[in-house]
Structure 1
Amino acid sequence: MLRLYFKNKVRIIFSLTCLACQLVLPTFSNANTGGDSTLLEFNITLRERFEVWDGMNAKNYGDPNGVGSLNDKILFQRIVAGFTFKPTSKIDFAAHIQDSRAFGWSLRDSEYPELFRVKQKNTQEPYYTMNPNEEFFEIYDLYFSVKEIFKGVSLKIGRQKISFGDKRIFGPGEWGNTGRWTWDAVRLSYRNKNNSLDVFGGGTKTHDPEKVAIPFTETEHWGGGAYAHIQFGKLAVVEPFYAIKTQGSADYIRKQSFSKHWIGTRVFSDEVNRFKYDFTLTQEFGHENGKTINAFGIIGLLGYQFHGLPAKPTLCLRETYASGGNNDDTRVRTFDPAFGAKDSYYGRMNITSWSNLDDREVVLYLTPSKKFKIEMNYHFFYLPSPDNKTLLGTMKLQAGKHHLGNEFNFFASYNAGKQFQFVGVFGYFWAGDLQPINGTTAQNSNWFAIQAFIKLDKEIHAKH
């Protein structure tokens, strides 16, 4: 039964791919670009990451009798394979399949099939699934794009990854094994030298190991936005943005009612007399559960680059703040980070996110060579509104306290040509003013990971 199920999934994806190729092939027969050009590009990427956890997992901090193991040893594997068909220099059609697996993960779907279901509390159905690490034979991308519809304007339709700027408002969330945000969308892009404007709309897909999400059908959210990039020499880059998020088409969420909006801007520069700065301010508004939304997020970074020293260190101070609130407030004051990625931004152990957060951080960047990069950061985590808040299922602050804890991270990456990348990461979390967990004082936790990324491409050329 299981083998037949996966075969059916592959047949569905293959049928969609063949249908799209039939639609595009007539365009190729009329193309005349002259000379050699790439007709087909086959791609395969393999990511293998081994993680060792001590004292926590994605759903349980410090409770040995809670969900899953506190000492997981996991091999995450993600394979993305497919092709890009290029009938002319201006037209692309891409189709790739992703297979994400978590060997040895104590929270895997076969052990806890309901763990990552999103549903009403104390009910069984309806629900949709957002599994961060397992997704078998899923459609990774399936899109059609046209370049230079007008001068500087391109169009992209279908399943695709969308991210801008520092990825805190729109980001793919690629550290997670399934990738947090994947869009089924229509996107218009305008480029003029160093300036750009992107406008798009569509839906974000669910992540269910038991289902194939056909484009534009299984959406968690409908939404979209606009993102601009405007460069003022070396002095500043300004990136104004707008985002909107509403309920999608998946079971459970489609019967909810909310409309969230974000407006704001990012201003940054890396080249002002060795100083660097990076500021983001965004206001969230709209309505949710019959209440109006009034929330905000702020990010501020100041740093200095010591180019005369070995490894060219850059030392930075960063503050990340997001408003918080309580359920009995007359307005929703807890900031939601739109479609942003977590990845490396709020501690690599993913205990916190840009929501109800006061993160005071020291960051050191080192560049021993163009291929070798190191980042070290130390976080002081506080919760602006700590009352009745629970993180990872068990973490609650003591009455009147705000200090969640501190986290240190070490991250190193090495690029060996265009095909290979190697990453090593270590994180340590010191528990703050936490309540006892299952009758025991909250303990510290740590995490270690090594990752290898391999990318292989094969091009088939045609003469016109």
Structure 2
Amino acid sequence: MKKIYHLFVIVLTIFPFGRGNLKAQSLTFSGEIRPRFEFRHGYKTIIPDGNSAASFISQRTRLNLFYGSQKFKFGIALQNVRVWGDVPQLNSSDVYGTALHQAWGEVIFSKKLAFKIGRQEISYDDQRIFGGVNWTQQARSHDAAILKYRPNKMTKIDVGLAQNAQSETLYKIDYLVNNYKTFQYIWYHRRFNKSGLSLLFLNNGMPYHESNNSQAVVYSQTYGGRFTYTYNPLNFNASFYYQGGKNKLDNTLSAEYAAAEVTYSLPCEFTFGLGGEYLSGTSSKEQALNQTDNSFKPFYGTNHKFNGWMDYFYVGNYMYSNGLMDISLPLTQKANRFTFKLVPHYFLAAAKVSASQGNGTWKDYKSNLGAEIDFSANYNFSNDVSISGGYSQMMATQTLQVLKGGNHKNSNNWAWLMLTFKPTFFSKL
């Protein structure tokens, strides 16, 4: 409560509330509480024999402050993430405490040019390369600076950079945080009458320890784009990216990504679609040799959104892998305040899966990794309160067991139930 009180004091002290002063100013103070129950029996990986399901309740709590004027904008998001029971009732402090999810300022030079700097979410297009990862209770934000150029209503250009260090020092020290050391990117988006085109170039620098134990930075380059087309009730999108340069192990990187999806909406608010996604991979033998890396890496995307909600692929795992081909059939039905989604997936490895048998021999496996069915339902009580839940089932194969371990014959499923409160305490636009 003290932190909430102090935040109110900051709002009242810093920002003027006179009628004349607010003519060209906006101020919003909002919050969020999001408890979520999860039942995990084979979530992220095939459950091994002799293991029981996990169940817990996690919670995200946020306070958000946004201020804007003709000359600048300002945003802060305080956040606490916890698991119910991770501290006793008479606790003096939390396990994770309160963190700054966002803390940024934006200078507005003109209607066309602005500069945003500080801790902030970075999200573009379908969030495949850059995304806020809102599903996770902690979400993702970056310490970055972004120059934003808007030459007209149809065009957006962002140039961003990040430069990370572990602490203030007098001399150079190694960067040991599990993070990138630096990145630079440029994002271009052009909207046409019924279509849109985005182009992205990302130069990503990762820390690497050389043979003499000194730390260097190795760079990879990701470049490509995304095209969208809308002709109601038909929607289509396609993406392609290429990655080159070096991976974080200083090995040559050469990888590709391609995706396409088409959806069709019926008057009864039922939408069905067909999607396909390809992320190149490195064969098991090539991984053992630890040489050229052909595995595409969606570095900072909202990966939970893609390739099944059970997070077997690219959510904290599978980056240096045999790649993936994913065929999906998304189905959505809206009815008043309800939204239902059903998404079947069929997974295949993009590169050959093998297992070493010793003596230089390898056993090859089929590319079929299995299938997953995801279902979710959401009900909006109001604009500020909603309840949602879901169930997913993974039908794994022996090939997926070779890659992930566990026993593919076991049942692998995941269920969740979440209540979200997002009130706006004060808003002046």
- Bigger mean CA deviation after superposition, 153-162 or 224-233: 224-233
CA distance in 1, matches of 2:162, 2:35: 31
Q: Deviations over 1:397-445 (max 9, x none)?
A: 9732211110001122233433123222111111123458989553231
Alpha-carbon shift at residue 154 of structure 1 (Å): 2.0
Q: Are 2:130 and 1:143 equivalent residues in the alignment?
A: no
Mapping 1:370-381, distance limit 5 Å: 371-381=337-347
Equivalent position of 1:96 in the other structure: 77
CA distance in 2, matches of 1:175, 1:138: 18
Q: CA 1:205–1:164 in 2, change beyond 3 Å: closer, same or farther?
A: farther
Identify which of 290, 295, 315 aligns with 2:272.
315
Residue 349 of structure 1 aligns to a residue whose secondary structure is coil
Identify which of 47, 50, 56 aligns with 1:62.
47
Paired amino acid for 1:141: Q
Residue 76 of structure 1 aligns to a residue whose secondary structure is strand
Paired amino acid for 1:428: Q
Paired amino acid for 1:102: V
Equivalent position of 2:30 in the other structure: 43
CA distance in 1, matches of 2:303, 2:240: 17
Paired amino acid for 1:404: L
- Bigger mean CA deviation after superposition, 156-165 or 414-423: 414-423
CA distance in 2, matches of 1:89, 1:217: 40
Alpha-carbon shift at residue 238 of structure 1 (Å): 0.8
CA distance in 2, matches of 1:176, 1:159: 18
Residue 133 of structure 2 aligns to a residue whose secondary structure is coil
Residue 220 of structure 1 aligns to a residue whose secondary structure is coil
CA distance in 2, matches of 1:50, 1:35: 42
Alpha-carbon shift at residue 385 of structure 1 (Å): 2.4
CA distance in 2, matches of 1:422, 1:205: 40
Residue 151 of structure 1 aligns to a residue whose secondary structure is coil
Paired amino acid for 1:414: Y
Mapping 1:397-408, distance limit 5 Å: 399-408=364-373
**TM-score, length-normalised on structure 1?**
0.73
8 Å contact 1:261–1:286 — kept in the other structure? Answer: yes
Alpha-carbon shift at residue 146 of structure 1 (Å): 2.4
Q: Deviations over 1:277-331 (max 9, x none)?
A: 1100000011133432110111111232223xx2x22221111111111322642
Paired amino acid for 1:61: I
Paired amino acid for 2:205: T
Identify which of 308, 313, 327 aligns with 1:352.
313
Alpha-carbon shift at residue 374 of structure 1 (Å): 2.3
Paired amino acid for 2:231: V
Alpha-carbon shift at residue 343 of structure 1 (Å): 1.9
Segments of structure 1 that go 5 or more residues without pairing to the other structure are 1-6, 111-133, 207-215, 390-396
Paired amino acid for 2:411: N
Q: Are 2:377 and 1:412 equivalent residues in the alignment?
A: yes
Equivalent position of 2:424 in the other structure: 457
Residue 239 of structure 1 aligns to a residue whose secondary structure is strand
CA distance in 1, matches of 2:128, 2:310: 17
Equivalent position of 1:76 in the other structure: 58
CA distance in 2, matches of 1:78, 1:254: 39
8 Å contact 1:169–1:339 — kept in the other structure? Answer: yes
Alpha-carbon shift at residue 164 of structure 1 (Å): 0.8
Q: CA 1:305–1:32 in 2, change beyond 3 Å: closer, same or farther?
A: closer
8 Å contact 1:359–1:382 — kept in the other structure? Answer: yes
Q: CA 1:438–1:279 in 2, change beyond 3 Å: closer, same or farther?
A: closer
- Bigger mean CA deviation after superposition, 433-442 or 197-206: 433-442
CA distance in 1, matches of 2:189, 2:388: 30
CA distance in 2, matches of 1:319, 1:439: 27
Q: CA 1:439–1:176 in 2, change beyond 3 Å: closer, same or farther?
A: closer
How well do the aligned residues superpose, as a CA RMSD in angstroms?
3.7
8 Å contact 1:57–1:72 — kept in the other structure? Answer: no
8 Å contact 1:205–1:219 — kept in the other structure? Answer: no
Q: Deviations over 1:251-293 (max 9, x none)?
A: xx99364211111010112x32532211000000111334321
Paired amino acid for 1:43: S
8 Å contact 2:46–2:406 — kept in the other structure? Answer: no
Equivalent position of 1:182 in the other structure: 141
Q: CA 1:188–1:254 in 2, change beyond 3 Å: closer, same or farther?
A: farther
Identify which of 173, 176, 190 aligns with 1:230.
190
8 Å contact 1:164–1:171 — kept in the other structure? Answer: yes
CA distance in 1, matches of 2:218, 2:161: 17
Residue 324 of structure 1 aligns to a residue whose secondary structure is coil
Equivalent position of 2:358 in the other structure: none
Q: CA 1:315–1:398 in 2, change beyond 3 Å: closer, same or farther?
A: farther
Alpha-carbon shift at residue 38 of structure 1 (Å): 5.4
CA distance in 2, matches of 1:300, 1:201: 29
Alpha-carbon shift at residue 46 of structure 1 (Å): 0.9
8 Å contact 1:419–1:454 — kept in the other structure? Answer: yes
Q: CA 1:203–1:412 in 2, change beyond 3 Å: closer, same or farther?
A: farther
8 Å contact 2:46–2:396 — kept in the other structure? Answer: no
Q: CA 1:439–1:283 in 2, change beyond 3 Å: closer, same or farther?
A: closer
